[in-house]
Structure 1
Amino acid sequence: MQLHLYTIKHNNNTLSIYSSTEKQYSSSWFMDFGKFGCEVFNKEENIIYKITKQFQFWKWKMVYTIKNNDEIITKLISQNNRKTVYSISINQITYELDIHFKKKISIYKNEIKIAEFDASFSDSDYKDTIKLLLLDKKDLEICFLLYSCLKIGETEQNQKAILTSQKQLEVNKEPWS
């Protein structure tokens, strides 16, 4: 199993993903009429996705509405009340995100793990850096898009508005790092 390594830099309201030193994608989020919004850019700085984050109070679920350049709308929806499992269907492919202990997130494509994000660096030189291990380079765009959804509203990589108890997070059944 050949894994590809990428680094993500988190600076205030911006994420940028690099393969070695070359920027591949970036995203930035903002507050727009009481809702959080986000735009995802390719390496030429063209907008490729627009995301709106909203909490559906009556269903107690977090929903991310994603529009691509063709105005096709898809939704990333939390699958439990703890907001530790998210799911989305794109072109008959189901992606699932699981949030784990020790600041790790896994992405599954039709129940096969394709990516793992690791934000658990304790070294002060890497405090705003997230590591991405990816199974196939073709999945980089979708993985970065889904990760950007989860980060909307966070201004610092090591802080969260509401701290989640480690007991409530999902177990990482096949850790890569």
Structure 2
Amino acid sequence: MSSPQDPYQQGPAGYTPQQVRQPPQQPSPFGLPGEPPRQRSRRKLWIILGSIGGVLLLVILGVVILVNVVGSATNQARGLADDFTRKVIAGDSSRAYDEYLDPALQKQLSKEAFISGVKSLEMDSSCQPAYNDLKVATENGVKSAEVVGQISCTGKNVDLAYRFEGTDQLRMTNIKLRPAA
């Protein structure tokens, strides 16, 4: 008994369906059916993230250096003003004149005039300096600092304004010490 053969059961020229060749499949981004998906390359992502991280690191480093340089100059100016003012208050005006005043200022203001001017302010151990404004700058390698404030004493106040300039060592180029109005 022969059964009618189904034309779809048998391939061309006597091949069975298992032997029929399938057309080649194009690879898809997810791989062939039954294969695990391919790993995507993240090289570009790491290059971009590394570049952004490098730029961010340089910016942070620049800010830290800038803050340290400006902070250091500000602290130096405050220290000079403190030392000078404490010497003047303690009555050591001669030493303050010699150590802090620039030679150009010493030519304009004699040591005797400086000492007598400080004595006329009648400052004593109750006097304490307070700085209201402190500006620091550097131009063409020359550092400058302007210090403005007040010396508060029992019963009176003395206005102060100092200007320091120099390349390596800051020296006082301008001074104002007078009773507050």
Bigger strand share: 1
Q: Check whether TM > 0.5.
A: no
Normalising by structure 1, what TM-score?
0.21
Q: Which has the higher contact order (CA 8 A, sep 6+)?
A: 1
Normalising by structure 2, what TM-score?
0.21
